[in-house]
Amino acid sequence: MTQLTKGANVAVPSDAVNIVVTWTAAPQAPTVDLSTLLVTATGKVRDDSDFVFYNAPQHASGAVRLGPSSPGSASVEAHLTGVEDVVERIVVVLSADGGPFSQVPGLTVRVDDATSGQVVAQFGDMGATSETALVAGELYRRAGAWKFRAVGQGWDSGLAGLATDFGISVDDAPVQPSSSTAPAATPASAPAPAPAALRPAEPSQGEQPGSDTSRPYAAPVSPTPAPLQPPQQPSAPQQAPLQPPHQPQAPLRAPLPQQAPLQPPHQPQAPQYEPLQPPHHQQAPQQVPSPQMAPPPQMAPPQMPLAAPATQAAPSVVNLDKGHVSLRKGDRVSLTKTGAPPMSRVFMGLGWDPAKRGRNIDLDASVIAFDANGRELEIVWFMHKKEFGGAIVHLGDNLTGKGDGDDEVITLDLTAIPPTVVHLAFTINSYSGQKFMDVRNAYARLVDAQSGAELVRFSLSESDRATGVVIAALSRTPQGTWDMRAIGQFANGRTVKKLVKPAVQMLGL
C-alpha cells in the first residue's frame, strides 16, 4: 500500500477499482456525502448526467456508480474499461452538511483493487479548515493507463459551488445572470488554481501539477445588457401622445347628470319596483298609510351580517382536537390541540408511486424557508440537507418511488426554528426532468415524531406535465403556533431553486 500526500499519484493496477472514504462518525459531526464528476478535456462535465451522486447513483455508461455506504463510510465503484473515451478524469467529491470539514475527524481516502481486494493507496491529512466541499482525489488517464491522484482541494461555497465550477447546473435562476460576479463573492477565487492542480502533469510518483494553464472555472462574462437601454428611450415619446387623447374624454362624464332626470319617470312606476329598491326614501311618503313601513327597517339588519361576519367566518381553521385530519386542496389546519402544549418535533413524510408498473420515478423532496415578506432564507434539499442547527434535516432519498411508506422524510423541530422563519414550503420535483403525468398517489403527511401518530395528510389527486409541485406549507401564526396548508400547485423546475418564485406566489406573499 502506498501512502499518498497532497498532489502525489499512484498507478492503478486494475481495470476495476473502489474509492472508499472513511471518517469517524459522531452525533455532532457534519454529515458527509460522496459524489463523482466525469470530466472531459475542458475541465468540465458534458452535462448534468456526468454528475453521479446519491440522487443519481449510476452514470449512464454504467462505468461509475456509488457503492455501499454506512455511518462513517462511503464508496464509489469505477470500471475503467467502460469509461467513455471523451472522459479524462473521474473526480471524487466530498461534501459536508452541518459544518466544515475541520469538524470531520479521521477523514481518509483509500483506493482498493476491486478484483483482488488489495489496498492500493491511502490518502489522509487533507488539511481542511472552513471548506464544506472537497475534491478528495481523482482517477485520470495518463499515457493510455489510469492513475489516482490525491488532491485535497476545498470549496467554502459547498457542493453547489463546486458543482457549478465543474459545469453542473443547479437551476438557480438568480445565480445565472450574475455568474460574472459570483467568483468574487464566493471563495471560488481561492481554489481557482485547482484546475492546474487537478490536471495530470507527469507520470511519475509524487508529480506536482501546474503545467496546465487552462482555467475551467472562469465564468463567461457577457456585458450585453447595456445595449438594451437605448431602445427604451425612443419608446418614451410614443407614450406621450397617448396622454392628450385621454383629456378630451373628460366631457364623457357630462352625461352623468342626464341620469338624474331618469329618476322622475320612475316615480310613477315606483309601485312596480318596491321589492327591488326598498332602501329608496322617496317611496316612503307613498307608503305612509300602508303597513309596509315595517319591511324597510327589516332590510337593514340583514346587511349587517353580510359586512362583518362574512369575512370572519371564511378563515376558520380546524385544529387537532378530533385527531387525524385529511386535507383537500386549499384547506388549512392548526397544529394545536386544546389543553395540550404546542407541537414541537414532527416530520413531513412525502411519497409517490410510478404511474406505470416497472418504471422508476426519480423525485426529490425539499423545503424552502421564507420570512414574513416572502424572502428566501434557506433551502434544505439534496445538496444541503441540514439547516438552522439541525432544526430542519433532510433524511434521504428514494430513487424509484417503489414500495410502501414515505419516499423522503424531512424532520422539523418547530420550537428550534428561528423566529425569522414564518413559512416553510414543501416541494417535490424531478431532477431528471420526469413529468408528474408519470406519477400517482403523491402525498404529504405530517407525523408526530414522538408518538409516530399521523396528524395531517394531503393526497394529491391531480397530475400535470410540469416537473415540480409545491405540495404543502407550514406557516407560523401571530400566536407562535403553526398551521399546515394543502397547496398542490404545479410548476416547472428540475431542482427546488426553480420553485422558489412560484412558491412565493402560491403562498400569497
Residues 62, 72 contacting (CB under 8 angstroms): no
Confidence check: pLDDT of 426 > 90: yes
Confidence check: pLDDT of 280 > 60: no
pLDDT band at 120 (very low <50, low <70, confident <90, very high): very high
461-494: pLDDT as tens digits: 888 889 999 999 999 999 999 999 999 999 998 8
In which region does residue 234 sit, left (phi positive, over 0), alpha (psi from -120 to 50) or beta (all else)?
A: alpha
State residue 216's pLDDT score: 39
Question: Taking Cα atoms as reference points, which of 362, 429, 378 lies closest to residue 49?
Answer: 362
- For β-strands 31-39 and 51-52, DSSP reports them as antiparallel
Confidence check: pLDDT of 236 > 60: no
180-194, 249-263, 352-366: range with highest mean pLDDT? 352-366
In which region does residue 491 sit, left (phi positive, over 0), alpha (psi from -120 to 50) or beta (all else)?
A: beta
193-204: pLDDT as tens digits: 333 333 333 333
Three-state DSSP class for residue 25: coil
pTM of the model: 0.54
Who wins on pLDDT, 183 or 423? 423
Q: What is the rounded CA–CA span in Å between residue 161 and residue 485?
A: 33
Q: What is the rounded CA–CA span in Å between residue 448 and residue 109?
A: 39
Residue for grid cell 401571530? 478
Tally of helices (H runs) and strands (E runs) in the chain: 10, 25
Is the C-alpha dihedral spanning 33, 132, 413, 481 positive or negative?
Answer: negative
Confidence check: pLDDT of 178 > 50: no
Residue for grid cell 327597517? 297
Q: What is the rounded CA–CA span in Å between residue 76 and residue 131?
A: 22
Q: What is the rounded CA–CA span in Å between residue 217 and residue 219?
A: 6
Residue for grid cell 415540480? 468
**Sheet strands side by side (includes 9-11):** 9-11, 145-155, 133-142, 89-97, 31-39, 51-52
Confidence check: pLDDT of 26 > 50: yes
Distance of CA 104 to the CA centre of its chain: 26
pLDDT band at 173 (very low <50, low <70, confident <90, very high): very low
Residue for grid cell 418511488? 401
Residues 374, 507 contacting (CB under 8 angstroms): yes
Q: How many Cβ atoms are within 10 Å of 11's Cβ, its own excluded?
A: 14
Q: Which helix (H) or strand (E) holds 507?
A: helix 500-507
Distance of CA 408 to the CA centre of its chain: 14
Extended strands (E) in 337-405: 345-354, 364-370, 376-380, 386-387, 392-394
Residues 57, 64 contacting (CB under 8 angstroms): no
354-393: pLDDT as tens digits: 877 656 677 889 999 999 999 999 999 887 888 998 999 9
Residue 16 makes CB contacts below 8 A (sequence gap 6+) with 77, 78, 79, 80, 113, 114, 115
- For β-strands 423-429 and 364-370, DSSP reports them as antiparallel
451-460: pLDDT as tens digits: 999 999 999 8
C-alpha cell at 165: 465550477
pLDDT band at 409 (very low <50, low <70, confident <90, very high): very high
C-alpha cell at 104: 470531520
Confidence check: pLDDT of 160 > 90: no
Residue 279 makes CB contacts below 8 A (sequence gap 6+) with 296, 299
Q: Which helix (H) or strand (E) holds 159?
A: helix 158-165
pLDDT band at 320 (very low <50, low <70, confident <90, very high): very high
Q: Which of 120-129, 281-290, 379-388, 495-504 has the lowest mean pLDDT?
A: 281-290
